[in-house]
Amino acid sequence: MIFIFLGAPGSGKGTQATLTAEKYRLTQICTGDILREAVQRKDALGLKAADYMTAGKLVPDDLVIDIIEQRIERANCKRGFLLDGFPRTIEQAKRLGKMLKQRNRALSEVFYIKVEEKQLIRRLTGRRICPQCSKLYHIEFNPPKRDELCDICHIPVVQRKDDSPEVVLSRLEVYRQKTEPLVKYYQKKDMLIPVEGNGKVDEIFREISQKIDGFLPGN
């Protein structure tokens, strides 16, 4: 099983990808997390990616494609994996297709989580993160239990630099221009499963699970 979770920043695709990975024991490959870790470590990848990320722009295709190529070779991807935040351009999608073909593997489905733009802005600008354990919160929808401190680490939660209102608008613009064309791209390949992303997390996940259960052998 190889799935893509496609959606705008703030659509909740990461949350759904995590739930799916846990339930179906698949490895989750989240390019945003991999890049953020590299930036924190200040390694070669991080130094190359940092400026693009703070500005809300996409990092160059070659950098992320290299990441994916290395990750899918790992033993934990043999059973299956899901891609969260990749591909984000047509070029990335084409290169992914080639990569899988060379390895005699194929994409199963692409889940496209749809959320309207006003809601995306509200979700992203209200989002907070624990700088230590990366647990996500939202000032309105899911605040920390006490004084803006992480429930687990008890240190103040922070706003990701790219969740500031100006950068959010530029990320959404980049999404519209570069990533949204993937909806048609995968629709033409008859792989796209649109999912309404405005509901509750567990309801959306139930819908995704039902679709996945339908692909499993014996169904």
Nearer to ligand AMP, 129 or 191 (CB): 129
Any idea which residue has 């160059």 for tokens?
Answer: 60
Determine, following the binding rule CB under 6 A, whether residue 59 of this chain makes contact with ligand AMP. yes
The residues that bridge with 213 in the sheet, in sequence order, are none
Determine, following the binding rule CB under 6 A, whether residue 65 of this chain makes contact with ligand AMP. no
Determine, following the binding rule CB under 6 A, whether residue 32 of this chain makes contact with ligand AMP. yes
**72 CB-near residues (< 8 Å, 6+ apart):** 29, 81, 99, 103
Quote the strand ranges of 140-205, DSSP E. Answer: 192-196
Indicate which single residue of 31, 127, 172, 182 sits in contact with ligand AMP (rule: CB under 6 A). 31
From residue 120, give the alpha-carbon distance in Å to each of 11, 33, 51, 81, 145: 6, 19, 23, 26, 24
Write down the catalytic residue from 88, 95, 123, 178.
Answer: 88
Determine, following the binding rule CB under 6 A, whether residue 35 of this chain makes contact with ligand AMP. yes
CB atoms within 10 A of CB 82: 24
Query: Minimum distance between the CB of residue 153 and ligand AMP, rounded to whole angstroms?
Result: 20
Could you give the CA distance from residue 79 to residue 90 in angstroms, rounded to a whole number?
A: 26
Indicate which single residue of 112, 171, 186, 197 sits in contact with ligand AMP (rule: CB under 6 A). 171
Could you give the CA distance from residue 190 to residue 209 in angstroms, rounded to a whole number?
A: 19
User: Is 160 marked active-site?
Assistant: yes
Write down the catalytic residue from 13, 123, 128, 178.
Answer: 13
Nearest alpha-carbon partner for 150 in 165, 166, 135: 135
Indicate which single residue of 6, 8, 50, 58 sits in contact with ligand AMP (rule: CB under 6 A). 58
Residues 101-160 within binding reach of ligand AMP (CB under 6 A)? none
> Which positions are annotated as active-site residues?
13, 88, 127, 160, 171
Could you list the residues that contact ligand AMP (CB under 6 A)? 9, 31-32, 35, 52-53, 56-59, 64, 85-86, 88, 92, 162, 171
